Amino acid sequence: MIFTKVNSLKGEVSIPGDKSISHRAVMFGSLAEGTTEVTNFLQGADCLSTISCFRKLGIEIENTSQRILIHGKGLHGLTEPSDTLDTGNSGTTTRLISGILAGQRFTTILNGDALFRQDQ
């Protein structure tokens, strides 16, 4: 075997969307002031539940196949939802949004799939 020394490497890597990062991108973008652009967002049901919840909290989110744009309103820019927030089957949405909502000055009701409810 003969090895040749390489001085540099160039290329481009496209990394698929990640569920954990996608959830957090929506949450941090919503709490930031201004517009956050997210590419390679994972368009799965759990991450879409997070988008739905933050839309109900007054955050404008544009979702296309290429990117999402989150128009954040700052740490205290969320508004009381007029309806229950449905976290679906997403444990990550439920856990993380609970921490964010605990610091807000309004009441919010969370609901999800039967797995998260006590009325099973």
Mean pLDDT of 47-69: 96
pLDDT at position 120 over 70: no
Mean model confidence pLDDT for the chain: 91
pLDDT in tens, 81-103: 999 999 999 999 999 999 999 99
User: Is residue 48 predicted with pLDDT exceeding 80?
Assistant: yes
Residue 1 pLDDT exceeds 60: yes
Whether residue 30 contacts residue 81, with contact meaning beta carbons closer than 8 Å, is answered with: no
**Which pTM does this prediction carry?**
0.85
